[in-house]
Amino acid sequence: RKEVEQDPGPFNVPEGATVAFNCTYSNSASQSFFWYRQDCRKEPKLLMSVYSSGNEDGRFTAQLNRASQYISLLIRDSKLSDSATYLCVVTASSNDYKLSFGAGTTVTVRA
Amino acid sequence: SQTIHQWPATLVQPVGSPLSLECTVEGTSNPNLYWYRQAAGRGLQLLFYSIGIDQISSEVPQNLSASRPQDRQFILSSKKLLLSDSGFYLCAWSVNAQPQHFGDGTRLSIL
């Protein structure tokens, strides 16, 4: 079983719509969680950390469900510029150098 | 602010040839440095990480090696490239273990 699993998508949504997707992780001891965004043929860029109580950054909301071992990302009022692949990242502890990356969920926002 | 430089951006090499990819970080001291590889449609795979000069940890047995001759310089090398070494190579840095910030990447094609 992969350490981090994501639905590859693509999620095709119209501009202004809300899109949400999950990522599941296998290590119940995982402590740190992140969402990265990767544009086609570019490097991943940190989108946001995911905190236990859930957190919001503008139009982006991240949630953590430890009992079911998944994290989610919700994008409200989608923009064309939100089209990208979103990588789920999990690590065993805040001191762990080894991040486990999911293969990504592709979101395409259409006009 | 911190910046990371990685070069070259693209590289085409014949099988059996040597490899040297360079990465430098500016604006911070004693960063943690990482080399990742991303195959098409796959998650990032950590190859090496370094927490200090000449301190290299290898995560995956392979014909690649890494060196850190200076505090903010990280080099990925191979004496003889294999076809399977093709991929997108990413250098990253962090102050603590996380989050990690990536360079622009090198797209390596082996012929």
Mean pLDDT of A8-21: 97
Bridge partner residues of B11 (DSSP): B108
Work out the mean pLDDT of chain B and round it to a whole number: 93
A82 contacts A10 by C-beta, under 8 angstroms = no
Phi, psi of A81 (to 5 degrees): -70, -5
* Separation CA B85–CA B47 (nearest Å): 12
**Which residues of chain B fall short of a pLDDT of 70?**
none
Residue spans of alpha helices (H) in B13-111 = none
Work out the mean pLDDT of chain A and round it to a whole number: 94
In the prediction, which pLDDT does A55 show? 95
DSSP A52: T
In the prediction, which pLDDT does A95 show? 76
Band of residue A10 on the pLDDT scale cut at 50, 70, 90: very high
A85: Cβ contacts below 8 Å, ≥ 6 apart: A37, A38, A39, A40, A104, A105, A106, A107
In the prediction, which pLDDT does B39 show? 86
CB pairs A-B closer than 8 Å = 56
Is B44 in contact with A87 (Cβ distance < 8 A)? Answer: yes
Best A3, A6, A23, A43 member to test B by mutation, with max B CBs in 10 Å, is A43
In the prediction, which pLDDT does B43 show? 84
Is A45 in contact with B32 (Cβ distance < 8 A)? Answer: no
Is the per-residue pLDDT at A93 higher than 80? Answer: no
pLDDT in tens, A17-44: 999 999 999 999 898 999 999 999 899 9
* Separation CA B66–CA B81 (nearest Å): 14
pLDDT in tens, A41-76: 899 999 999 999 999 999 999 999 999 999 999 999
B40 close contact with A: CB closer than 8 A: no
